[in-house]
Chain A
C-alpha cells in the first residue's frame, strides 16, 4: 500500500497531506504524535480513499498564521474538505484528532457525513485519566503491544517534538474543552466512539460525556487495545470502523451472507 504525498494550497497557507486507496472519501485526522501510517490505514484503504492531512506544526511542517486554536484548525480542515475532497465526507479522528474532528462536526456540519472518534482527547473532566510522569512512561501506557508499532520514516525526536510541543499551540493544555462540550448536541452526524479496553490515558468519563451529549452515538470497545488502538489491534479497529463507514447505523445489524453478496 502506497501513501502519496501532496500539498494543499489553502487560504491560510500550505497543508501537507497523504492519500491512499480508492473509494468513498474519508478524512482521517491524526493524534498528537503526528501522522503514523498504520496497518489500520492500509486495511481501510482497500475500500475507501483516505485523505490524511498533517496538521500545521506536526511532522516538521510550519504553523500557519491564525491557525492557533481547535476551532481554527477545524475551519482549516473544513476548507481542506471543500478544496481537496470536493464533497462532504466521513471524518475519522484519533486522540487529538478526535477532538479536532468534533470541532469540524460542530462548526461545519455540512462537511461531515459519518463521524468516528477513536479515544478522543479534550473530554477529561478534572484531568481524569492517567497523567504519566515522563515521556517514557507515556509511551509505555499508550500501547499494549509496542512490538506491533509500524515502521515509521519520522525520527524519534520529531515524534517527541510533536507530542510535547505542538498540541499546546492549539488546545493550550486544557483537559476539558468546555466550549466544545456545550456544543456537542449540535453534532448531526451518526457517530462511532471507539475505546480500547486497556485504555488509561483517556478516561471512561470521556465516553460518558460523549454518550450523554452527542445525539446519535455508538460506543464500541476494542478488546485488548490501549490508547494507540490502531497499533494494538489494527484488524479489529479497521473491521469495526470500515463496517460503520460502509453501512452507517446499519452496522448494528449482522449482515450475514449479504456482506459477501
Chain B
C-alpha cells in the first residue's frame, strides 16, 4: 500500500460564512499568505520524512478553497525539497489550459524531480469553467482531445502538427522530454462510472474522491475494471487511488473533534462559496452528459455536507481516529475496494496546522508500519509502460 500526502492549500482564516463565488479578495492578506504558503510547503516536504510515498496538490481558481492556481509551481518546489517522494499533480485542469503548456510543465517537473512525476489530467469542478470563460459543455471533448495531444507531445520523436476540434498547432516539439518512458503515469478522476470508464480507455490510473459510501466507490471501480478489460488490459491495485479526509490523533475522540472543526469550515465556507456558480453550470449546461451523473455529483456534495464524522467513520469514507483505528480503516478500504494507493487529505478547512503535523508523526510511528505491506504494488510507471 502506498500513500500520498495531499494538500488543498486552503485560505483558512475566514470568519464570514455567507460568501458568494467568486469571492472578493479584499480580506485576503498577501503577507499572511506568504507565511501560509511557507507553512504549507514545509508541511508537504515534511511528509516525505513521515513516510508518505508521494506529495500532491491540485489546481483551483477564484476561491479560498485552494490557493494553487498553478499547482506545478508548488510541484517544482517539492521536486527540490524532496528526494524520493512522487510529485503528484492531481492535477492540472487540462481542458482549461493550453495542452502544450501542460505537456511542457509536466515534463519539466518530471525532469526536475528525476522521474518522480505522477500527473493528473483533471476536468475540474463545474465553476472553474466560469473562471476561465470556457463552455462547460465542451469539457469532456476538450479533455479527450487534450489528453491525446499531450501524450503525442510526450512520445512523438519528430516535430508534428495537430489539427483538432479544439486545438490546432502547426509545429510541436517539446523540450525537455520526460524522464519516465513512454511518459509519466497519468491519473484521471472517477467521480462517476462514466468518468471511470474514460480513465480506463486512456489506460490512466483511477482517482476517486470523497465517495459517499464504499459501495459507491466499488461501483466506480468495477466500471473502470470492466472497461479496462474491454480495452484489453488488466488493472491492478497500483492503478487505483482513493482520497480520504484524514485525521490522526492520540484518541478517537480527539481526532473526531479536531476533524469536525475542519470539516465544518470546509463545508460551510470553502465548499459553500462554490455552490451558486456550481448550480448555474450544472443546470444550464451539459457539464454532465446525463442526469444520472449530475445526480451522482449532487448526492455526493449533499451527503458530504450533512453527515457527521461519526457517520463517515461508520461508512468507511474517512480516516479518523487514533493510530490503531486508522490502521483498521485503511485495511477495510483496501479490502473492500482493492486500492493500492490512498491519498490522504489532512489539512481540511481550518484544521490547525500543528494538529496536521502531529497526525503526520503518528502516521509515521504507528500507522505506516502496520499497513505498508497490505498491497505490494509495482511502480505506476512500470505498470503502464506497456501502453
Q: Which residue of B lies closest to A207 (CB)?
A: B158
A197: chain B residues within 8 A (beta carbon): 148, 152
Among A182-210, those with CB < 8 Å from B are 197, 207-208
Number of A interface residues at 8 Å Cβ cutoff, please give it: 20
B161: chain A residues within 8 A (beta carbon): 218-221, 240, 252
Number of B interface residues at 8 Å Cβ cutoff, please give it: 16
Task: Tell me whether A218 and B165 are in contact in the complex, defined as CB-CB below 8 angstroms, given that A208-B157, A223-B145, A223-B148 are known contacts.
Answer: no
Q: Which residue of B lies closest to A192 (CB)?
A: B161
A22: chain B residues within 8 A (beta carbon): none
Interface SS of chain B:
mixed
* Measured CA separation A251–B163 after assembly (Å): 12
* Contact yes or no, B157 A240, CB < 8 A: no
Q: Which of A208, A224, A233, A237 contacts B158 (CB 8 A)?
A: A208
* Contact yes or no, A251 B158, CB < 8 A: no
B239 to chain A, nearest CB (A): 24
Q: Which residue of B lies closest to A221 (CB)?
A: B162
Task: Tell me whether A220 and B158 are in contact in the complex, defined as CB-CB below 8 angstroms, given that A251-B170, A252-B170 are known contacts.
Answer: no
B145: chain A residues within 8 A (beta carbon): 223-224
Interface SS of chain A:
mixed
* Contact yes or no, A211 B165, CB < 8 A: no
* Measured CA separation A252–B167 after assembly (Å): 14
A244 to chain B, nearest CB (A): 9
B182 to chain A, nearest CB (A): 13
Interface centre among A218, A223, A233, A237 (most CB of B within 10 A): A223
* Measured CA separation A219–B169 after assembly (Å): 11
A223: chain B residues within 8 A (beta carbon): 145, 148-149, 162-165, 167
* Contact yes or no, A224 B170, CB < 8 A: no
Task: Tell me whether A219 and B159 are in contact in the complex, defined as CB-CB below 8 angstroms, given that A252-B170, A252-B171 are known contacts.
Answer: yes
Is A27 an interface residue when CB atoms closer than 8 A count as contact? no
- 7 A-B residue pairs with Cβ-Cβ distance under 8 Å, sorted by A, are A220-B160, A221-B160, A221-B161, A221-B162, A222-B163, A253-B170, A254-B170
* 3 pairs of A and B residues whose beta carbons are closest in the complex: A223-B164, A220-B161, A211-B158
B: which residues have CB within 8 A of A? 145, 148-149, 152, 157-165, 167, 170-171
